[in-house]
Amino acid sequence: ETGVTQSPTHLIKTRGQQVTLRCSSQSGHNTVSWYQQALGQGPQFIFQYYREEENGRGNFPPRFSGLQFPNYSSELNVNALELDDSALYLCASSVDRTANSPLHFGNGTRLTVT
Amino acid sequence: DQQVKQNSPSLSVQEGRISILNCDYTNSMFDYFLWYKKYPAEGPTFLISISSIKDKNEDGRFTVFLNKSAKHLSLHIVPSQPGDSAVYFCAASAMRDAGNNRKLIWGLGTSLAVNP
């Protein structure tokens, strides 16, 4: 069984640029969530995708957008990067969108904005 | 406003002893709670969860206790092992969230060190 994989592992971008982060969900999982974890903080919910549609969103501006594909893999896109976007971005998949199916996380993408 | 609070940034225990990690929450709508463990350079790994209809859930060396009236939960690890050394996050969700989405609210984490 393949777990959640994220790419790239590390990324350095300049303020104002755009970035795309990728996530392959665990086999059999149809729900993907994205979280941002700043240094010394807990993960913050960005949004969730269920069967290719956004199913919930946290307090992030519209320049954070996402996609989920028919194979349930997902992308997180961030436009007009700001210095505060520097963080670890975590993707998690689950069997379904209900609360009692645990999230399985990838190892994250470390984004640095200079 | 931190809805899930882990007031101890770090904890150190001896191998074989009990580790107790604490978590407090403020939102009375939370009805599902989870503990995750995180090693450096890895994503969080699910440990154990508890629904608000229970006050205890046990899985091997890990037990979570929930006190709804105090809005407090704790994770007990017995016996503690050096491999348990990691950051432990408490997270909560409200199952009645619109769209039934999996928005988890996380604490800041507690770094546990188990000394041989």
Per-residue pLDDT for chain A (114 aa), expressed as one digit of tens each?
Answer: 578 999 999 999 999 999 999 999 988 888 999 999 998 899 999 999 988 999 889 999 999 999 999 988 999 999 999 999 999 999 999 887 776 678 899 999 999 999
Residue (of A106, A113, A112) closest to A10 by Cα position: A112
Hey, which residues 22-61 in chain B have their CB within 8 Å of chain A? 31-32, 34, 36, 41-46, 49, 51
Place of tokens 């971005």: A89
Name which of A92, A100, A105 is nearest B32 (Cβ-Cβ). A100
pLDDT per residue of chain B (116 residues) written in tens, 0 to 9: 789 999 999 999 999 999 999 999 999 989 899 999 999 889 999 999 999 999 999 999 999 999 999 999 999 999 999 999 999 999 998 866 545 566 889 999 999 999 99
* Paired tokens of B89: 């996050």
Do residues B105 and B3 lie in contact, with contact meaning Cβ atoms separated by under 8 Å?
yes
Test A98 with B44 for CB contact under 8 angstroms.
no
